[in-house]
Amino acid sequence: MNFDKKYLVWALGYLMVGLCLGIFMASTQNHLQHVTHAHINLIGFVLSLVYGIIHKLWLGQPNPTLAKLQFILHQAGAVTISIGLFLLYGHFLAEPQIGPILGIASITILVSAALMFYMVLKTSAVRA
C-alpha cells in the first residue's frame, strides 16, 4: 500500500473515533473531552489526510526510509496524544503523570512535520 493510501486509511480511522467521541459528548451533555475530540480530528484526521494528499500530488517517489519514518512518527505521536488527552481529561491520570508523555508526543508530531517539509523541499517530482 502506498503512503497516500496508508494516510487516507488512518485519517478515516481517526475520523470515526473523533465522530464517535463527539456524538458521545453530545448525547451525554458531558463535554470534558472536547480537547481530545479536537486533537483527534485535527492531528489525526486532518493532518493525516493532508499528508496523504501531499504524497499523492507532490512527492511522487519519496525516499522510502524517510517516508516510512515520517509516517511512523506521525501516527505514533497522534495515537499517543489522543490516548494521553483522553486519560488526562477523563481524570484517569493527573497532568504530572501524563504531561511528559504528551510533551514527547507533541515533539514527535513536530519532527514528523519537519520531515514532511524536508521531503516536499527535496522532491524532484513534477506534477501537472
Helix residue spans in the chain (DSSP H): 3-28, 34-39, 47-54, 64-89, 95-122
Q: What is the dihedral of CA 60, 65, 70, 72, to 10 degrees?
A: 120
Average pLDDT of the residues in 33-53 = 96
Domain ranges, ordered by start, for the chain = 3-122
SS3 assignment, position 30: coil
* pTM metric for this prediction: 0.90
Residue 125 has which C-alpha cell? 517530482
Q: What pLDDT is attached to residue 61?
A: 82
